[in-house]
A and B are shown apart, each in its own frame.
Chain A
């Protein structure tokens, strides 16, 4: 079986937070307790969307110690392939759903003398759980949260009222931006920085910390890519001896799963490396979108990450 162990749940609350973001809360259908988790973990939510099974990862943002309820917050993406639209438009209180056990690819380094968190937009969600975890352990943390404006400032009120001294809010529309260079300068030795937000923000923080001599191990980031639509293509699978079609709005990984071919996964967003697949032969060009493979591996034409990457050309033969 691929992915983490599954849990059957019932939707217990659907709470619109603003124009774009809605919180979904789940209870276990069997009445048992959820496993606890560590701040930064995500769960993979299964959606039965008109014959298509979508599996989307969302950060758990409830209290990691709360075994009664799991909560995620989903930002509606009108341009994407429809996972977030499905959640917003179709999911109602009382619905039966399936989520995975928590998987953490963005965990706190508990050795840190200080945790410095940088959030952009919906990137706030993993920090909601991390802050609850750190509060319980009397951890030393500070959050810098940039969002478009007050109306779209998901959880801004909750954060600033509970932690007025540790939470710093920046609204783009007010031309109020994080002064990163100043923020980084003077942080005590042993500080770890965590960034979750758009790719530009992650690159900015990684670049600036490198420029200022921060060790790579002290810089943590989480960026799940959503699979992008693309031209349909055909794939031959050598182990399962099948030829399958990958549709415009599905990923190669989803096409494999649809055909009953088991491929391991954890993040489904080009980050964890689990679904790495060997290429046996090809005639065409790869559209590598992941940030798992090294550049030389991408250029070699011997590996592909089916969760986000695609192919254009005549033939592609995979070791699956």
Chain B
């Protein structure tokens, strides 16, 4: 099972549910890696849904593991792509043409869901109407509050900003607009005194 129980945290930290089929004529899924399993589970629960769905899937390091299962679900429009960046214009194009009543389902890693949610919100869907289900890695997409650079797939706390090189600790404070958690300098008051890095949730 690829689901992870996140510990209770502050109110800006996103929480995730379990996808359920909602009424509507059109259904858009964006998933990465083990997020495919959430789609497969939902397709089992509601066999008619996939014929009305557009699925954008980025396998990341799961490679071909889930692709053939997805192909067998009878999805109306299935795209398998190499990265979110590569898929993003396709996503934005779909949203630009969409109508009220479109249901958006996001599943997989926090970074993927956050970025897709940002595009869906920009298209006019309130974030509370967008379903999310976390699957797979617990890595975080982090913004350095100092240089504003984004570091993807952060697995340890503290970590080194991939842009400015400061030692940052990982906060639970989360921005939907940036689709990122906040990283703040850990040794500002005692330069060089950086505790050893530990794996998140270890």
Complex contact flag A–B (Cβ < 8 Å): yes
Interface positions of A (Cβ within 8 A of B)? 111-113, 184-191, 210-218
CB distance from A28 to the nearest CB of B (A): 39
* Stretch of B69-77, B120-128, B136-144, B158-166 lying at the A interface: B120-128
Q: Does B93 contact A (CB under 8 A)?
A: no
Chain B: CB-nearest residue to A186: B99
CA A288 to CA B96, docked complex, whole Å: 45
Chain A: CB-nearest residue to B103: A213
Mark out the residues of chain B between 21 and 36 whose CB falls within 8 Å of any chain A CB in the assembled complex. 22-25
Most buried by A among B98, B124, B126: B124
Q: Does B112 contact A (CB under 8 A)?
A: no
Most buried by B among A186, A189, A191, A216: A189
Q: What would be 7 A-B contacts, judged by CB atoms less than 8 Å apart? A: A185-B99, A189-B95, A191-B100, A212-B23, A212-B25, A212-B100, A213-B101
Q: Is the pair A217, B129 in contact by a Cβ cutoff of 8 Å? A: yes
CA A191 to CA B99, docked complex, whole Å: 9
Interface size class of chain B, counting residues whose CB lies under 8 Å from the partner chain: 10 to 19
Given known A189-B123, A190-B124, contact A184–B101 (CB-CB < 8 A): yes
Mark out the residues of chain B between 54 and 111 whose CB falls within 8 Å of any chain A CB in the assembled complex. 95-96, 98-103
With a cutoff of 8 Å between Cβ atoms, the chain B residues found around residue A111 in the complex are 124
CA A54 to CA B95, docked complex, whole Å: 50
Q: Is the pair A214, B101 in contact by a Cβ cutoff of 8 Å? A: yes
CA A47 to CA B101, docked complex, whole Å: 45
With a cutoff of 8 Å between Cβ atoms, the chain A residues found around residue B96 in the complex are 189
With a cutoff of 8 Å between Cβ atoms, the chain B residues found around residue A184 in the complex are 100-101
CB distance from B99 to the nearest CB of A (A): 5
Q: Is the pair A189, B24 in contact by a Cβ cutoff of 8 Å? A: no
With a cutoff of 8 Å between Cβ atoms, the chain A residues found around residue B24 in the complex are 212-213
